[in-house]
Amino acid sequence: MRIGFHVSISGGFSLAVQRAYESGCTTMQIFSRNPRGWTVKPMDQADVAEFKRLREQWDIGPVFVHTNYLINLASKKPDLYAKSIEQFVIDLERTEKLGAEYLVTHLGSASGQEEEWMIEQVAAALNMAMKLHPLKATILLENTAGEKGDMGYRLEQVRQVMDRLKDPSKVGLCYDTCHGFAAGYDIRTKQGVDALAGVIEGTVGLDRLRGVHLNDCLRDFDSRVDRHWHIGEGKIGEEGFRLFLNHPAFRDVPKIMETPKETEEDDPKNLRVVKKLMKM
Ligand SMILES: [Zn+2]
Ligand SMILES: [Zn+2]
């Protein structure tokens, strides 16, 4: 079972993989650049080579890259929509240069627009990006909490986007447990976890579930509020994670924690809890 954290790229990609190794990760997630700005610095070839060498040496993988937060593939503003596609392509290129396996993206939002319109908009953006940059990596669409008009809080919406892609084989699902819980997928009971596995199988298919964002949720079930929390200490709780982590549909899927890092102790603690719940 592969488990890791989202780690900082401050100081370079080779330092990121070092951070991942030191915190006991067997998989990892990074941003490919500053996630809250449009400006992009060219990648340092030596740093990228060292990143690849170290992840090989320490057997850390798959590597997930998360897209920039400003990207909105569903935007109704033509300039932001065009910019988002351009920036998404930059993230794709950087994902490939790093030799990372996956690029995780949210679907975006467009308040006031019909759902059908947003689905078409996102699919068109993904088709355009994949045409501009044919890829080896796989794009993973992440479910959202459905906050402020965010798309993708129902797995049916993710499926509808995939149905409109020219090459759907290059696109899978990254399931976020906090977002799912906040959007009404309850994993606190065995029946709930079975039901979620059934919904994934019935929409995108379990074979397309390539990654999990393993986060507890600070806010209530179905609250539509996205606040990640420490594993077992939020509203999902230890029993929910025990059931989810040991379920055959989810057990072997690589998992990335995006849990709060307030102190140095937070990551080791969350990793210990996951290992305890999985009896690793
Ligand atoms: Zn996530
Ligand atoms: Zn989140």
Task: Give 114-160 pLDDT, tens digit per residue.
Answer: 999 999 999 999 999 999 988 899 999 999 999 988 999 999 999 99
- Is-catalytic flag, 179? yes
Q: φ, ψ for residue 6 (rounded to 5)?
A: -75, 120
- Quote the domain boundaries for residue 38: 3-278
Mean of pLDDT values over 154-183: 97
User: Which tokens hold the place of 164?
Assistant: 């409109």
- pLDDT tens figures, 247-264: 999 999 999 999 999 999
Q: Which residues contact 179 (CB under 8 A, 6 or more apart)?
A: 142, 143, 144, 145, 146, 153, 213, 215, 226
Rounded to the nearest angstrom, the distance between the alpha carbon of 227 and the centre of ligand 2 is: 6
Confidence (pLDDT) at 135: 86
3-state secondary structure of 255: strand
d(CA 75, CA 242): 38
Give the ligand at the shortest distance from the Cα of 173.
1
- Is-catalytic flag, 227? no
Confidence (pLDDT) at 54: 98
- Is-catalytic flag, 142? yes
- Is-catalytic flag, 36? yes
Instruction: Using a CB cutoff of 5 Å, list residues around ligand 2, an ion.
Output: 226
Catalytic residue among 22, 44, 53, 69: 69
Rounded to the nearest angstrom, the distance between the alpha carbon of 51 and the centre of ligand 1 is: 23
d(CA 144, CA 228): 12
3-state secondary structure of 103: strand
Alpha carbons within 13 A on the beta-carbon side of 11: 8
- pLDDT tens figures, 187-212: 999 999 999 999 999 999 999 999 99
Burial class (CB in 10 A: 0-12, 13-18, 19+), 280: exposed
- Is-catalytic flag, 220? no
Rounded to the nearest angstrom, the distance between the alpha carbon of 77 and the centre of ligand 2 is: 24
Band of residue 279 on the pLDDT scale cut at 50, 70, 90: confident
pTM of the full structure: 0.97
- Is-catalytic flag, 176? yes
d(CA 129, CA 277): 40
Query: What count of other Cβ atoms lies within 10 Å of the Cβ of residue 134?
Result: 10
Q: Is pLDDT at 280 greater than 80 in this prediction?
A: no
User: Which tokens hold the place of 150?
Assistant: 């965010």
Domain count, the chain: 1
Do you know the residue count of the chain? 280
Mean of pLDDT values over 149-177: 96
**Which residue, chain included where needed, has tokens 């355009």?**
128
Band of residue 112 on the pLDDT scale cut at 50, 70, 90: confident
In terms of phi and psi (left: phi > 0; alpha: psi -120 to 50; beta: otherwise), the region of 184 is left
Domain of 49: which CATH number? Answer: 3.20.20.150
Instruction: Using a CB cutoff of 5 Å, list residues around ligand 1, an ion.
Output: 176, 213
- Is-catalytic flag, 69? yes
Sign of CA dihedral 175, 232, 279, 260: positive
Catalytic residue among 47, 96, 120, 258: 258
- pLDDT tens figures, 39-79: 999 999 999 999 999 999 999 999 999 999 999 999 999 99
